[in-house]
Structure 1
Amino acid sequence: MEQVAHLAAAIRDADSVVALTGAGVSTASGIPDFRSDSGIWNRFDPEDFHYRRFCNDPEDFWKDRVSLHETMFGDGIEPNSAHDALRELSKNGHLHALVTQNTDGLHDTTATSAELIELHGNAHRVVCDSCGHKTDAAPIRERVESGERPPRCGDCDGIFKPDVVLFGEQLEKSDLQRARKRSRNADVFLAIGSSLSVEPAASLPRIAERNDATTAVVNLDETPFSALADFDIRGDVTDVLPTLCEEVAD
């Protein structure tokens, strides 16, 4: 695609490339989205995962949370070709920050210098709501399934909470500040697999655009930012991203 080739050239020439990813990057890995006809919120009541319910009824909150986690992630969820392409861009020094709205933990920048900003947290971790201690979620879910509801922190006896932003909670201020700073300083900003309908993440490409970045949307459907983007590439991210990665490497 001609647009992909021109975008690849912009990425090669850029000193700072930032990507924002949304649910469309994860659906190819078998993770359902949230708001489509077959999405998570047509199978579960969003109010059951409100921070208010966690505070008032942590026992039943955790019972439903384990069910939600199993429905979303099941067994054998693996990164797909879009994740692989972003990791390759990072390894080759062509992606400097990766901001994600996803909580699935499938983005891996551990072998690269790219900064990973998980705006909505990570569903594979839990955090104590009292002392802030974080740990792996898998053994905590096992404790819940064995009847320990709610699961408690061994350090302070506080209650563990999924390390994700629940309804009624604010995004972590430091994460949002980092994402906004990266967006302001970007030479190229990629919005990938996101409907760009949920704030504050939806404002990030606009921040980049106002600061003269080259902007691109890669998504199956039109987004509110598509008309403003320098490149509006309609397609499956698992096809477009590997092609883009190859073009950048050429």
Structure 2
Amino acid sequence: MNEHQKDLLVSLFEKKEEVTSQIDHPYNALIHAVLNTVDFERLVTDYIESDIPEFRDAIYNNIEKRIPNYNDHEKMYEDLNQLLESGINYRKSQRLRKILELQLTQLPDDYKINFFNTFFYSDSTYDKKAAVRYVEFAQTDVTKKLLDEYLSSGYVDYLNLLIKPENAHILAKNAEGIWETELYHSHKKRIIEICATESLDFFDFLKAVDNSYYLLLLIIRKEIKPEVLMEKLEELDVEQQHFALLHFSKWIDFSFVEEKVKQYL
């Protein structure tokens, strides 16, 4: 943007700060009115360079709105990709990646493959998190990489991609490490269900750290009788019992559930 546009934007942002507590003010609309007058390619450059941090979010939002009306995405994507490959500092590379991702909505799937391959193997956590949204475009098996990333970061989207029946063996082999992360009850239950036919030895650790899920595994495998299961249920901490009953209920007769539920009435 030119200096005149920049000066006007500075004034608008200052006025916006003065009325920040007011819901109905004109300054957001006026800021975008000014940004709309900036050449699109120049605005992308300004965002990546971002010499005025206060403008950053507004510029990004303006670019996002204008993306569908731009007509030369392939050339821009390739130019920005070359800029990335030539080497720029970390903060600029993060902003550049965001622009590349915005463009994907307007480009053929080949570009999604490129985006995934470029950023999934990056050293940046944020790059990887962005890339994993396009894991369906991976051209090689990335299951092991997803697992490694999950175990090192705990980022739940990696785990969500892993919890599939076809990954039962790798989930079972790594169950203890996975359990050491912060898992939701729904994740634990689904892993047990998926891995029920895998070796029970992989889940021995649960007896000491999460026994209700070990019991769930046993009842799914039909290696414990329902009446024995209900006796074991009583041995769990009181606050765990209703969740455990919820998980067991799919695998036992109503009469066992009814008897336990009546204790709460």
TM exceeding 0.5:
no
Tell me which protein shows more strand as a share of its residues.
Answer: 1
- Tell me which structure has the larger Cα radius of gyration: 2
Higher RCO, 1 or 2 (CA under 8 Å, sep at least 6)? Answer: 1
TM-score category, normalised to shorter length: under 0.3
TM-score (norm 2): 0.25
